Structure 1
Amino acid sequence: EIRQQLESAWKERQDKLDECLELQLFYRDCDTAETWMESREKALKDEAVEVVEAAIKRHEDFDKAIKAQ
């Protein structure tokens, strides 16, 4: 009976440690995903500024061309 109790306690401990490991792996994956999303967001914001600036430049050039006629 003592051996069975010890094995049961060991199994419970192992299950708890397995759950903790899974949780830590999940946290790691979340951190990785968050870092990736932040880098993509920054790239998109930078790109968006360039796209808007290019559109403004095209509009100004078009406006100048119309006024010159």
Structure 2
Amino acid sequence: MLGFLAGVMFFVAAVLVYFAVGALSNLWADYQDSPASTYIAAGGADLIGAAAAVTVGVWMMREHGRQDR
């Protein structure tokens, strides 16, 4: 149960980081005022969010696998 709660907390933190990076990237893109930089910023935020979600999913599966044994 503790591993599950830690996984949920990590997931929430990953989501917060995802939104923070997206907001900062969009601010930077607005500062640059370029469509290309906006696209790159949005893609970078999506990539970080996807990587965080996959990391959390794999970690939670491994943790629960250990607890079931």
So what's the TM-score if we normalise by structure 2?
0.51
Shift in Å at residue 37 of structure 1? 0.7
Does 2:32 correspond to 1:10? Answer: no
Q: Write out the 4+ residue segments of structure 1 that deviate beyond 4 Å after TM superposition.
A: none
How far has the Cα of 1:17 moved from its partner?
0.6
Q: Please give the residue correspondences for 1:1-69 in structure 2 after superposition, counting only pairs within 5 Å.
A: 4-39=34-69
Which structure's relative contact order is higher, taking Cα pairs within 8 Å and 6+ residues apart? 2
Query: Which consecutive residues of structure 1, in runs of 5 or more, have no partner in the other structure?
Result: 40-69
% identity of equivalent residues: 3
Query: Which consecutive unaligned segments of at least 5 residues does structure 2 have?
Result: 1-32
What is the TM-score of this pair, normalised by structure 1? 0.51
Once the two structures are superposed, residues 6-50 of structure 1 have per-residue CA deviations (whole angstroms, 9 ceiling, x without a partner) of 1111110110010000000000111111101101xxxxxxxxxxx
Q: Secondary structure at the match of 2:34?
A: helix
Length, aligned pairs only: 37
What is the aligned-residue RMSD (CA, Å)?
1.2
- Which has more radius of gyration? 1
Give the counterpart letter for 2:39 in structure 1. Answer: A
